[in-house]
Structure 1
Amino acid sequence: MAPPTRRHALLGASALSAALLLPGCGRLPFLGPAPSSCLGPEEELPEFEDSGSRVPPGARVTPYEPSPSRWFNDAGLAVSPDGALIAAAEHPDRSMLGLTDVQGVLLWDTAEGSVVRRIAGAAEGAIAWHPDGTRLAIGDRRHIAIVSVDGELLWNLIGHEDPRDTSARITALAFSPDGTQLASTSKDGTVRLWDVSGDQCGAGHTLQPDAPAPTALSYIAEGTTLVVGGTDVHGRSDPPNHLSHWDPATGERREVLDAQERILVDFGYSADETLVLVTYAPATLEVRAPDGTTSTGPEVSPYTHSARLAVGARSRIALQSPGDLLIWDSATGEETRFEDLLLQRICWSPDESVLYTLDEATGVSAWDGKDWRQFDLP
């Protein structure tokens, strides 16, 4: 048999490349992550295939039923650096049912509890405020919108991909302390760095942490270190995961911080860079002081597999588990517990005097240490 001609060989290579990128197949690992890029406000976003439409032949699918009582997404709740505003994203269900003509991110006045602005656009992922309070990063499934506090679209950041085994979502966002860099992670398992200094936007390094996909990010050491960790837990058989330190300037991993064989669910830092960890199997709340001293917090719910952590600027820590909310002052040891609360997100005010919570059905509430205050629904 005669060897293939060069034309035939090239056609074969092209067919292979196309096959590796067939819709529904995802991008294969040996191809590396897709490139990141910034799109201006006049540029159109690429059309993405709906990950929910990729169903294997013969599989049974339960149709999704939107609910009129599902007001908010469970992925985003963020308070502004000055504490004056808080942001959360509306759920698409009410729009799907024709109960509202608009959908977006709502901004409330934290003093009054009233809605002051709606920033239009889909937002099914995380939300983060720029350190100067003039802009927000708003995550959706695969892209991130950088918008002004007045709602003007500045940039769309694209590059995060559709994961092969679950639906897409931007799970965490964090600005560097000086506001010149944004870090993002999604269910595709990558961490992407973006240069967002002034009016400029550029794609930076793409980090590839060890599996499973991380769900939390934090800058420490005046922005010279990016900490990556956390996970969405599926069960006790999940593999252990760890915190890792990365150099945001070079994109290189410096060290694995937590090498114990356990599942790290979430983490956070106080202003003095005290590290707080919540783990599953075993369920623990752990505090590590800047000098390396480690202590264990109060007993926590055994259901930390879906826990979320909020670490205040000084010593107050809030841990949300299914049906349980623990508020603990690590300096005084004082504990407050609430039961039968179905919360999706929590965060502290900048001075840690108020804890804000998000429930997808009832919206945003504030606890000042004595009383709960419900914010207005849109």
Structure 2
Amino acid sequence: MSPDGRRIAAQEPWDRKLLGESETAGTTVWDTATGEILARFDDGMYDAVAWHPHDELLATATTSVVHISRPDGEVLWTLSGHRASTRWRSFDIKDLALHPDGHQLASLSTDGTVRLWFLDGGTCTPSPVLRVRSGRPSSLAYTEDGSRIAVAVDGAGPQLWDPSSGERAETFDDCGREAMGIALDGQGRFVLGIGEEGRLQVVGQDGTCSPGTSTRITVPEFIATAPDGRIAVSGGKSRSLELWDADLTESSYIDLPEFIPDIGAPGELGRTAWGPDGTLYAVARWWGVIAWDGQGWRPFELP
């Protein structure tokens, strides 16, 4: 979601292009008001996407490469350094995050690293590499003041890192080790998606974890928090979405329609994002971007 809420970007893999159903594979940008496509990049990017909080820049990633582009598709920088897949092992850049002041980009890969990049004065330069060990990093988020990066590590639990020095700050010993997703909740806390039995946990400002709340999303890898504190949870190839209040005390379960004439079946849900007005946007595999207004789903134009 762009900072002003007027545009949203998502990525489609090669499937539809190989099937002849799309002319491009990669990043697409939509107008959130009309659902119309504003730009399509045949860039092959399909792993992660993030908007710059202040400038007209879009960060996109695939396997081991990150692009920093303008919203019209002009690539300003190509960032490499993450390990590329081999015949015996595959790696992917799973998540991207930008520092709240926009001067640093973090890219997280299943190669066990979080690479940091400084964006300043029209330049982009590498900075410390966070070497996450004993697990598979899956998601990350900056704290509100940007002084820490929280990393969800599947197999090792969540960790806090100092983005200036690249040093490990602390671990959260009371949190589940199968940490899949993580998001800042707007109150200085983190919401964690734990793969063990499908749970959500809140990490307080003092670093303590709540006991956890069960979620019907068995692989809660995508977590998004709304301006009013509501929490959207998806993942694990589920065709449903779970919405929680800010205190994780009440939830509702939202299914996608099974089939819409001329559009077909939606496929599983992916990442979600909230607009400033409280509209929830989600990526459905075969529908592209869809919007939930509290009453029903609105499909956007397909690439």
Q: Same fold (TM over 0.5)?
A: yes
Structure 1 residues 211 and 294, CA, compared in 2 at 3 Å: closer, same or farther?
Answer: closer
1:226 to 2:142 alignment: no
> Does the residue aligned with 1:304 lie in a helix, a strand or coil?
coil
What is the deviation of 1:259? 4.6
Amino acid at match of 1:211: S
| Counterpart for residue 109 of structure 1 | 31
| Counterpart for residue 262 of structure 2 | none
Residue of structure 2 aligned with 1:314, choices 208, 228, 240:
228
Structure 1 residues 269 and 336, CA, compared in 2 at 3 Å: closer, same or farther?
Answer: same
What is the deviation of 1:97? 4.0
| Larger displacement relative to structure 2 (115-124 or 99-108) | 99-108
Distance 2:64 2:248 in 1: 42
Residue of structure 1 aligned with 2:162, choices 224, 244, 247:
247
Structure 1 residues 330 and 97, CA, compared in 2 at 3 Å: closer, same or farther?
Answer: closer
What is the deviation of 1:115? 0.5
| Counterpart for residue 349 of structure 1 | 275
What is the deviation of 1:327? 0.5
1:360 to 2:276 alignment: no
Report which of the two structures shows the higher radius of gyration computed on alpha carbons: 1
| Counterpart for residue 240 of structure 2 | 324
Structure 1 residues 285 and 159, CA, compared in 2 at 3 Å: closer, same or farther?
Answer: same
Residue of structure 2 aligned with 1:262, choices 177, 187, 197:
177
| Counterpart for residue 8 of structure 2 | 86
> Does the residue aligned with 1:94 lie in a helix, a strand or coil?
helix
The RMSD of aligned alpha carbons is 2.3
1:136 to 2:51 alignment: no
Residue of structure 2 aligned with 1:190, choices 89, 104, 113:
113
Give the gaps of 5 or more residues in structure 2: 258-267
Contact 1:262 1:282 in 2 (8 A): no
Structure 1 residues 339 and 368, CA, compared in 2 at 3 Å: closer, same or farther?
Answer: closer
Count of equivalent residues = 290
More strand by share: 2
Q: Deviations over 1:44-77 (max 9, x none)?
A: xxxxxxxxxxxxxxxxxxxxxxxxxxxxxxxxxx
Distance 2:184 2:176 in 1: 22
Q: Which structure 2 residues correspond to residues 147-226 of structure 1 after superposition, within 5 A?
A: 147-163=69-85, 166-226=89-149
Instruction: Indicate the percent of aligned positions where both proteins have the same amino acid.
Output: 37
Structure 2 length-normalised TM? 0.87
Contact 2:233 2:242 in 1 (8 A): yes
1:274 to 2:189 alignment: yes
Structure 1 length-normalised TM? 0.71
Q: Which structure 2 residues correspond to residues 33-52 of structure 1 after superposition, within 5 A?
A: none
Give the gaps of 5 or more residues in structure 1: 1-78, 232-239
Q: Deviations over 1:229-269 (max 9, x none)?
A: 143xxxxxxxx322111111111111112454531121111
| Larger displacement relative to structure 2 (333-342 or 176-185) | 333-342
What is the deviation of 1:112? 0.6
What is the deviation of 1:161? 0.6
What is the deviation of 1:95? 2.8
Contact 2:192 2:202 in 1 (8 A): yes
Distance 1:371 1:282 in 2: 29
What is the deviation of 1:340? 6.0
Contact 1:324 1:337 in 2 (8 A): yes
Amino acid at match of 2:275: S
| Larger displacement relative to structure 2 (118-127 or 334-343) | 334-343
Contact 1:267 1:278 in 2 (8 A): yes
Amino acid at match of 1:366: A
Amino acid at match of 1:343: L
Distance 1:223 1:274 in 2: 13
| Counterpart for residue 68 of structure 1 | none
